[in-house]
Amino acid sequence: MTQRSPFSCILWDVDGTLVDASDGILRRLSVTLTHFGLPAPTRAELVHWIGPPLYESFQHHAGMTPEGAADAVTFYRALGKADGYTTDVKLYPGVAELIADLDAAGVPQGTASSKPEVQVAALMAHFGLAEHLAAITGATPDEKTLANKADIVAEALRRMQAAGADVSRPVLIGDRHHDVDGGTANGVPVIFVRWGFSWPHEADGAQAAVDDVAQLRALLLLTDDPS
């Protein structure tokens, strides 16, 4: 039996889709907001922070000015660099095996993350996923020049095509509403995963929504029985 995908290439969001970095994010947010004289978030409030660009989140959820948000992002990222980008991060069960199996089936894959690209690259290398990816795309270091999900998806597609991937039937796997919006802006269907940090309505507009990796696998890999 051979396996194939109905999609010509696959783009992966990272936070909340491939990795759970919530412990480290909560700790660094608490230190950062306290440093700027603001209340630390609770774990329940992390749903507001994980996924969208931090530069936007510091303004929307902490009431910071654009200048203050830029300072907060710089402070937060310095904490992350000191921690090491892979500290307190774990893969969601089954995603590494799925990525490896998709690669074995000849399906080109890449990342399309709002996380800074240097961090995405470090995480993909740490978890042994980089070898299965045709391109790694994330946000620019300032998280403003390239941070909008629609722009990141467009850049990811450009890099995938430059690497020789067929981008005629792409799909984006993500866990937040901005993934759906970013995919839609580029004509890319989105499969929404519910194991990340999201509200139920955020799947609106996605082509499909899945509760676990087994359901995702069934959509991404089809088995041909020669008999």
Q: Region 90-111: what's the mean pLDDT?
A: 98
Q: Which residue has the higher pLDDT, 80 or 12?
A: 12
* pLDDT of the residue at 198: 87
The pTM of the full predicted model, rounded to 2 decimals, is 0.89
Question: How would you write the chain as a 3-class SS string?
Answer: CEEECCCCEEEECCECCCEECHHHHHHHHHHHHHHCCCCCCCHHHHHHCCCCCHHHHHHHHHCCCHHHHHHHHHHHHHHHHHHCCCCCCEECCCHHHHHHHHHHCCCCEEECCCCEHHHHHHHHHHCCCHHHCCECCCECCCCCCCCCHHHHHHHHHHHHHHCCCCCCCEEEEECCHHHHHHHHHCCCCEEEECCCCCCHHHHCCCCEEECCHHHHHHHHCEEECCC
- Give the tens place of pLDDT for each residue, 187-200: 999 999 999 888 88
- Give the tens place of pLDDT for each residue, 111-133: 999 989 999 999 999 999 999 99
pLDDT at 202 over 70: yes
